[in-house]
């Protein structure tokens, strides 16, 4: 099922949580709503689910306006962080819940419900745990039960709010892969909320980047990562360093260093901001060409050595990641170096 949000506005008191959201989700897409805390991701997801009503705008499912339609009629499966499993029900009872509460005319009989629950238990790889209670499961197992419960009603849309939020890194990775396979095999249209960029870039076909109740950019993981369109996206994705500079006649000046920058050829002279990712900076000898800097910290307890340097002219701190084979090991705090930007983008202002 395709989903559309058209001009969605939502206010809480005087606070505008969503400032006019337009979004087109195609059938079969796996979409991530990515943004910092408070950017409106959950609010948008709840409105898509029909759990909350928007103040303005429309939600369309397959081009049909859902305004005023009850949750049950939307046939969406959802897994929300605070929508916990029913503690007094077994795993199997939890999974079958959505089927048992259907109106009599649509309700499958007991044997059909049992068959469906067994099938879902197999799907989420919990076939032996149907008789347990939620308190007897691990966090990852509980999440899988929550997913099975959401899938029991055979939704065509699956909405997930930080589905793996509370789990440790290894379980998260496993569940991610598993969810991706499930999405494909059940031909779902899925939307999930996350503030974890790695999760969004790895899982989704389409990433929607939100900031302060608005969409900053929508695109494939490659597009949003490699072609950020706004300063917010530059900084939010990949932790780009923000370096104030001066644009003049097709070059940029950072402090007193002038750097060739063909990418600014079309920009007007004046103040600008260069965005450069930590892995796109290299560190060279103090007497080499580049922007003079001083090493502030060297972090070696990570797969790639990370170095923090301070530019001599401007006192600006920059994060640098070095390739594993580079001499992160011989750099020391206080050492004078130069930095070079292998790749950077510049926005005016």
| Binding residues for ligand ATP (CB under 6 A) | 12, 15, 17, 35, 37-43, 193, 195
Of 40 and 140, CB closest to ligand ATP = 40
The answer to whether 328 touches 305, Cβ cutoff 8 Å, is: yes
Shortest gap between Cβ of 66 and ligand ATP (angstroms)? 19
**Closest to 76 measured CA to CA, from 154, 187, 184:** 154
The answer to whether 157 touches 151, Cβ cutoff 8 Å, is: no
Q: Which two tokens stand for residue 125?
A: 């790889």
Shortest gap between Cβ of 41 and ligand ATP (angstroms)? 4
Buried b (16+ CB within 10 A) or exposed e, 299-312: eeeeeebbbbbebb
Shortest gap between Cβ of 326 and ligand ATP (angstroms)? 36
Of 47 and 126, CB closest to ligand ATP = 47
Of 21 and 92, CB closest to ligand ATP = 21
Shortest gap between Cβ of 216 and ligand ATP (angstroms)? 13
Of 232 and 275, CB closest to ligand ATP = 232
Shortest gap between Cβ of 204 and ligand ATP (angstroms)? 16
Of 35 and 130, CB closest to ligand ATP = 35
- Quick one: residue 131, left, alpha or beta (phi over 0 = left, psi -120 to 50 = alpha)? alpha
Where are any strands of DSSP class E within 136-205?
A: 157-161, 189-194
What is the rounded distance in angstroms from the CA atom of residue 147 to the CA atom of residue 125? 12
The separation between CA 100 and the C-alpha centre of its own chain, rounded to angstroms, equals: 34
- 291 forms beta bridges with 339
Of 38 and 219, CB closest to ligand ATP = 38
Shortest gap between Cβ of 235 and ligand ATP (angstroms)? 17
Shortest gap between Cβ of 55 and ligand ATP (angstroms)? 13
Buried b (16+ CB within 10 A) or exposed e, 8-34: bbbeeeeebbbebbebebeeebbbbbb
Shortest gap between Cβ of 15 and ligand ATP (angstroms)? 6
**Closest to 185 measured CA to CA, from 119, 113, 108, 92:** 119
Instruction: Give CA angle at 223 (222, 224), nearest 5°.
Output: 95
Of 17 and 152, CB closest to ligand ATP = 17
Of 9 and 186, CB closest to ligand ATP = 9
What is the rounded distance in angstroms from the CA atom of residue 138 to the CA atom of residue 217? 36
What is the rounded distance in angstroms from the CA atom of residue 226 to the CA atom of residue 234? 9
């Amino acid at each position: 099922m395709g989903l559309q949000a058209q001009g969605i506005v939502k206010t809480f008191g005087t606070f505008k949580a969503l400032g006019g959201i337009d979004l087109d989700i195609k059938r079969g897409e796996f979409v991530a709503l990515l943004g910092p805390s408070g950017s409106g991701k959950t609010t948008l997801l709840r409105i898509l689910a029909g759990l909350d009503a928007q103040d303005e705008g429309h939600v369309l499912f397959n081009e049909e306006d859902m305004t005023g339609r009850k949750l049950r009629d939307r046939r969406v499966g959802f897994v929300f962080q605070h929508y916990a499993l029913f503690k007094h029900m077994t795993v199997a009872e939890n999974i079958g819940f959505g089927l048992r509460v259907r109106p009599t005319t649509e309700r499958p009989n007991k044997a059909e419900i049992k068959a469906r629950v067994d099938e879902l238990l197999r799907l989420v790889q919990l076939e032996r745990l149907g008789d347990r209670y939620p308190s007897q499961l691990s966090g990852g197992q509980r999440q899988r039960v929550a997913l099975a419960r959401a899938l029991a009603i055979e939704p065509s849309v699956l909405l997930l709010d930080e589905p793996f939020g509370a789990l440790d890194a290894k379980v998260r990775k496993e569940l991610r892969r598993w969810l991706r396979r499930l999405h494909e095999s059940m031909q779902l249209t899925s939307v999930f909320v996350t503030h974890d960029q790695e999760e969004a870039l790895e899982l989704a076909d389409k990433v929607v980047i939100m900031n302060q109740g608005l969409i900053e950019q929508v695109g494939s993981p490659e597009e949003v990562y490699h072609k950020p369109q706004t300063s917010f996206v530059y900084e939010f994705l990949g932790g780009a360093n923000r370096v104030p500079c001066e644009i003049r006649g097709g070059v940029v000046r950072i402090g007193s260093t002038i750097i060739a920058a063909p990418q600014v050829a079309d920009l007007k002279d004046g103040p600008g901001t260069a965005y450069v990712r930590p892995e796109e900076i290299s560190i060279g000898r103090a007497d080499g060409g580049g922007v003079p800097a001083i090493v502030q910290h060297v972090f070696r307890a990570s797969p790639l050595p990370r170095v923090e340097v301070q530019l001599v002219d401007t006192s600006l701190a920059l994060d640098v990641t070095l390739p594993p084979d580079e001499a992160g090991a011989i750099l020391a705090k206080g050492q004078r170096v130069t930095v070079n930007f292998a790749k950077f983008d510049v926005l005016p202002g």
